[in-house]
Amino acid sequence: MKKPPAKVVGNCRLQEEAVEGVGCIFLDPPRQSLGEKLIFLHGGAFTSGPVICHWGMLSRVCEKTGIPAVMVDYGLVPENPFPDGLNDVIGVYRALRREGSADRIYLMGDSSGGGLALSAVLALKDGKEKLPEKLGLLSPWLDLTLSHSEIENIRQYDQLLTREDLVEAGRVYADGHDPAYYLLSPINGDFIGIPPTLVLVGTHEIFLCDCRRFKEKAISAGAALTYQEWEGMFHDWMALTPAMREANQAVDVIVDFLNRPAGQPQAPAAS
C-alpha cells in the first residue's frame, strides 16, 4: 500500500494494523461516532494502491461524519489475482463484524474498489451473512468486459480511461476466469436484498453505461438507491477535494448518505 506521508491526514490519526493477515490503515477522526465503521476500498485497476487523493477524500468524509474508516490493503495483481483481493476484503469485513457485532458497518469504494465492494456484498449475500448497512460506489467499474454498446458513444469524452487498457487489466485480474462472472463483473449479479446504495458517476466516464444498467437492475430488485450522474464530470472527480468545487459537493453527498437514517428519501440528483 502506498501510505500517506504522515501519521496524520487532515485531522485524522492513522494507525497501521493487520486484520486477518491483511494490512489495513485505520483513520480516526477527532470526533468519533460510536458503533459505526467505514471500510474503504481504493481504486487502481487492481494493479496499484491508493494515491494521496484517496487519503484526502477519505479523511474529509471521516471528519465530517465522525465515522472512523479502514483502508484495506487488499492483494493486487500480478501477485494476487482473483479471488485473492476479494477474499482479503471479506476477511477484514468478517473480522470487524466479530469485533463489534452490533456496529453499523458501511462499505465503500471508488473505481475498481467500487466494483470490488459490490462483489463483496454479492459474495456475502451468497453465504447468507449479515451485509454492510450501507454501500457506496464512486465511479465504480462494474463490468470487466466493458462490452456495453453505448461505450463507443461516451469514450470520446473520457480523457482518463481507455477501454483497451481496462479490458487488459481486467483480463490479468481475472487470471483465466470468465471476466463476465458476477464476482468479477458484479453488474451481472442479483441485487435483491443489497443494502441501501449510493452511486456517483460522471457523464464523461466510460463507466457511465454500466452504472445506468446497475440503476435499472437495482431498482427492479427493490434496492434503496441514491443514484447521481454529474454532468461533465470525469472519472473519480470526487477525490480532488478540497481543490475542486464539484469534488467538495460530492463529498457532501457522501456525508449526507452516510449520516442519513435508514428509510429517509434520497437526496436530489446532481444537475
Is position 206 within any domain? Answer: yes
**pLDDT tens digit string along 83-119?**
999 999 999 999 999 987 778 999 999 999 999 999 9
Q: Which three cell numbers stand for residue 46?
A: 487492481
**Averaged over 49-60, what is the pLDDT?**
94
CATH number at residue 211: 3.40.50.1820
Q: Of 36, 59, 63, 205, which residue is the catalytic one? A: 205
Beta bridge partners of 197: 135, 225
The predicted pLDDT at position 220 comes to: 97
Is position 38 within any domain? Answer: yes
Is position 157 within any domain? Answer: yes
Give the three-class secondary structure for 196. Answer: coil
The predicted pLDDT at position 145 comes to: 96
Scanning the structure block, which residue is given the C-alpha cell 457506496?
A: 136
Is position 64 within any domain? Answer: yes
Q: How many CB atoms lie within 10 A of CB 64?
A: 17
Give 33's pLDDT tier (boundaries 50, 70, 90): confident
**Averaged over 29-53, what is the pLDDT?**
93
**pLDDT tens digit string along 135-145?**
999 999 999 99
**Averaged over 181-201, what is the pLDDT?**
98
Q: How many residues does the chain have?
A: 271
Beta bridge partners of 71: 25, 40
**Residue 177 above 70 pLDDT?**
yes
Domain count, the chain: 1
**Residue 267 above 60 pLDDT?**
no
Quick check: is 111 catalytic?
Answer: yes
Phi, psi of 47 (to 5 degrees): -115, -20
d(CA 51, CA 1): 9
The domain of 149 spans 8-259
The predicted pLDDT at position 14 comes to: 94
d(CA 105, CA 96): 8
**Averaged over 214-235, what is the pLDDT?**
97
**pLDDT tens digit string along 61-84?**
999 999 999 999 999 999 999 999
Tell me the C-alpha to C-alpha distance, in Å, between residue 53 and each of 17, 42, 122, 209, 237: 21, 10, 28, 25, 10
Is position 190 within any domain? Answer: yes
d(CA 44, CA 53): 12
* Predicted TM-score (pTM) of this structure: 0.94
Is position 269 within any domain? Answer: no
Tell me the C-alpha to C-alpha distance, in Å, between residue 269 and each of 64, 127, 188, 225, 234: 21, 34, 25, 11, 17
Is position 270 within any domain? Answer: no
- The helices-and-strands tally (H runs, E runs) of the chain is 7, 9
Phi, psi of 15 (to 5 degrees): -145, 130
Rounded mean pLDDT of the chain?
A: 93
Is position 50 within any domain? Answer: yes
**pLDDT tens digit string along 247-256?**
999 999 999 9
Give the three-class secondary structure for 98. Answer: helix
Q: Of 59, 111, 139, 185, which residue is the catalytic one? A: 111
The predicted pLDDT at position 265 comes to: 45
Are 132 and 93 within 8 A, CB to CB? yes
